[in-house]
Structure 1
Amino acid sequence: MTIRDICIYGAGALGGAFAAKIANGLGEDATVSVVARGAHLAAIREKGLTIVTPGHEAPLDVQVAATGDPRELPAQDLVITGLKGHQLADAAEGLARLLKPSTRVINILNGIPWWYFHRDQTSGHAERQLPELDPQGKLWSLVGPQRVIGCVAYQGAEVIEPGTVQLNGEGRFHLGEPSGEMSADLAAISELLGRADITILPTDRIRDAIWTKLMGNAAYNPISALTRALMDNMMENRAVAAQVAKVMGETKAVGEALGAVFKEDVDAQINRAGGFGPVRTSMLQDLLAGKALEIIPLTGMVVTLGKLTGVPTPTCETVLALTTQLDRENLRK
């Protein structure tokens, strides 16, 4: 696989960090462009991307080509999406304009991805589509699940001002083919991103990584939005922490019913949360910014897939109902 032209579609927090690191790390070996919007796009065009990382003496400042219209860009060898799961379907036509026959697409996503059941060999639901995440099937038909390489991110990031992204550490990213193959494309992309100082962990069980991350995301994100609490304050409240544990347990049960294998139990996840500090989850960031919340790919899909597998999810259903109403009221302002 030859990777020369790389586009980051949705260069917000994580997308912006990927764009800056790839452009900085590969230099003239790659042409990096971004699709962004609003004040963030204007700032990138004017002064480039700035990445601030704790422990680094100086920020990383990088110039990249930026546009709000993917039609202005040529077809790409690699497309990396930084959009959230509830935003991707609306971008399907734009993404399709960037594709050539060999283009691979990395979706950096929290929660269940739209392609989840493509070539899935463990659930008994192979090739089942998820209209909750891809309402008109445009991602499936225009982008195609066969192009996708799944990505699970462990990297806190926030746009602290237009054009500037702050990371909470170095982070790590699990990459995997939906089929589970350790393909030549997966190896080539992992090597390329590694050269850009991005820690990549290739895996033949990407769905295990998806569910392990979702245990936390399905709980922490909506409950932090409902309470407006930072992670440390939320987990110091025993009553709230107990609800977090219930959501995690239900999420784990649904994942196991679909064939996922978990290396950690709920107690291990809860104990690790004690070291998170005063972190604002991505959903709390979106709530405070007046943006639509990433509900469906997280808690919403736990409920949907719980019904598919016959696994009860009563706490998730309650959290989903409350967060959905919160989202409506927040957007009504």
Structure 2
Amino acid sequence: MSKPFLIWGAGAIGASLGAAFLRAGKDVVFVDTDADHVAAMNRNGLTIQGPVHPDHQSVIAYLPGDLPGRYDCVFLCVKALHTQAAIVALVPYLTEDGYVVSAQNGLNEKVIVDHIGAARTVGCFVNFGADYMSPGVVHYSGRGAVVIGELDGVQSPRILGLHSLMLTFDDRAVLTDNIWGYLWGKMTYGALLFGTALTDDSIVDVLDGDDCRAVLTALGQETGAVAASEGVTPMGFDGFDPAAFAPHAPQAALDRSFDEMVAHNRTSTKTHSGIWRDLAVRKRKTECEAQLGPIVSTGRLNGVPTPLTERLMAMIAQIEQGERPLSRDNLKELAEVML
């Protein structure tokens, strides 16, 4: 792999990864569309706050239109809803045999493949806790699963090199031959996180709430059924067991998975999801449509109904538009879809 690595999207995920690569002695260039963030990084450096690996690095950052050169390896770290625009913008900066690593939430690999092909797309799964705080500052709040794999499962020299690189970020990083299983597992977990974001309560409080688990279970089971219709075996991570949300899974497995998710999230200083932060703090559009939309569309294609997911998406949209407050009552309303 040639140098430098290009991080496209210097927010929570991209900044955390890029800072680790710099600590490991790699050359890294950052790209972001936020002019204030780019200016602050160039002027003051990149600051990583938090209990895991606080750091400060001098960095090179550009706005997309100012980026020089072409790159062999690009880590795409933008939010799912910006994937389409980002991949179009970055293609001119790829070398002829360059490739993109999708370090995002969702099934964005499918979007990337549509533009540059499967051979130039690398799957990546991340579940660590991090938040963009202010220009030049990111908070890395808790370790979580980091997984990388070729879309076809082959252990190529490229993926072996990338796995070694990811180990510089987290020494537990996993190399997998089932990256789609991890991505669909995260889709199920992500549906639960969108459910928690309907409230002002913490992730732990909602996952640990007896009044919340029934509707969250049904929500997860919808995504599990869609994954099964795709012939995918979802993979577990960080206490989350997607098999517990499979059809006819025993209640004991569900209870154990919820308890383990609660235990894992208690270890992080990140109390709320990035979804909640977009709704409550940054007051901007979330990744809801881009992340949950593929669950609905795939379900329709395969004849799997997803009424809870569709209603959840509608409720998140209402919150985004200022038409619905964040409240635990929203979960009660969502549960009515189950009746």
Q: Distance in 2 between matches of 1:274 and 1:94?
A: 39
Structure 1 alignment gaps of length 5 or more: 116-133
> Percent of aligned pairs with the same residue?
26
Residue in 1 that maps onto 2:212: 240
What letter is aligned with 1:23? L
Residue in 1 that maps onto 2:258: 270
- TM alignment of 1:64-79, pairs within 5 A: 64-79=59-74
Secondary structure of the residue aligned to 1:175 is strand
Alignment of 1:283 onto 2:280: no
Residue in 2 that maps onto 1:327: 320
Q: Provide Cα deviations, 1:50-85, integer angstroms capped at 9, x if missing partner.
A: 1123155xx211111101125422111210011011
Deviation at 1:198, TM superposition (A): 5.7
What letter is aligned with 1:245? T
RMSD: 2.1
Alignment of 1:45 onto 2:17: no
Deviation at 1:160, TM superposition (A): 2.3
What letter is aligned with 2:276? L
Residue in 1 that maps onto 2:28: 32
What letter is aligned with 1:24? R
Q: Distance in 1 between matches of 2:164 and 2:150?
A: 15
Q: 1:60 aligns with which of 55, 58, 63?
A: 55
Q: Distance in 2 between matches of 1:190 and 1:82?
A: 17
Secondary structure of the residue aligned to 2:291 is helix
Deviation at 1:208, TM superposition (A): 0.6
What letter is aligned with 1:80? F
What letter is aligned with 1:96? V
Q: Distance in 1 between matches of 2:52 and 2:125?
A: 24
Deviation at 1:217, TM superposition (A): 0.5
Q: Distance in 1 between matches of 2:84 and 2:66?
A: 17
Deviation at 1:172, TM superposition (A): 3.2
Residue in 2 that maps onto 1:303: 296
Deviation at 1:204, TM superposition (A): 0.7
What letter is aligned with 1:14? I
Residue in 2 that maps onto 1:178: 151
Residue in 1 that maps onto 2:328: none
Secondary structure of the residue aligned to 1:238 is coil
Kept in 2: contact 1:24–1:196 (CA 8 A):
no
Q: Distance in 2 between matches of 1:4 and 1:233?
A: 44
Deviation at 1:13, TM superposition (A): 0.5
Q: Provide Cα deviations, 1:268-319, integer angstroms capped at 9, x if missing partner.
A: 4322222213611011111120221101233222111111111122211211
What letter is aligned with 1:88? T
Residue in 2 that maps onto 1:127: none
Kept in 2: contact 1:219–1:299 (CA 8 A):
no
Residue in 2 that maps onto 1:7: 6
Quickly say closer, same or farther: Cα 1:71–1:168, change in 2 above 3 A. Answer: same
What letter is aligned with 2:30? V
Residue in 2 that maps onto 1:119: none
Quickly say closer, same or farther: Cα 1:33–1:250, change in 2 above 3 A. Answer: same
Kept in 2: contact 1:39–1:162 (CA 8 A):
yes
Residue in 2 that maps onto 1:129: none
Kept in 2: contact 1:21–1:198 (CA 8 A):
no
Deviation at 1:113, TM superposition (A): 2.1
Secondary structure of the residue aligned to 2:211 is helix
Q: 2:80 aligns with which of 81, 85, 90?
A: 85
Quickly say closer, same or farther: Cα 1:55–1:93, change in 2 above 3 A. Answer: closer
Quickly say closer, same or farther: Cα 1:249–1:60, change in 2 above 3 A. Answer: same
Q: Distance in 2 between matches of 1:42 and 1:271?
A: 43
Secondary structure of the residue aligned to 2:283 is coil
Q: TM-score, normalised by structure 1?
A: 0.84
Q: Provide Cα deviations, 1:95-126, integer angstroms capped at 9, x if missing partner.
A: 112200221211112122241xxxxxxxxxxx
Q: TM-score, normalised by structure 2?
A: 0.82
What letter is aligned with 2:223? T
Residue in 2 that maps onto 1:128: none
Instruction: Say which is worse superposed, 274-283 or 188-197, in terms of deviation.
Output: 188-197
Quickly say closer, same or farther: Cα 1:286–1:193, change in 2 above 3 A. Answer: same
Residue in 1 that maps onto 2:233: 261
What letter is aligned with 2:41? I
Deviation at 1:240, TM superposition (A): 2.2
Kept in 2: contact 1:216–1:269 (CA 8 A):
no
Instruction: Say which is worse superposed, 82-91 or 227-236, in terms of deviation.
Output: 227-236
What letter is aligned with 1:3? S
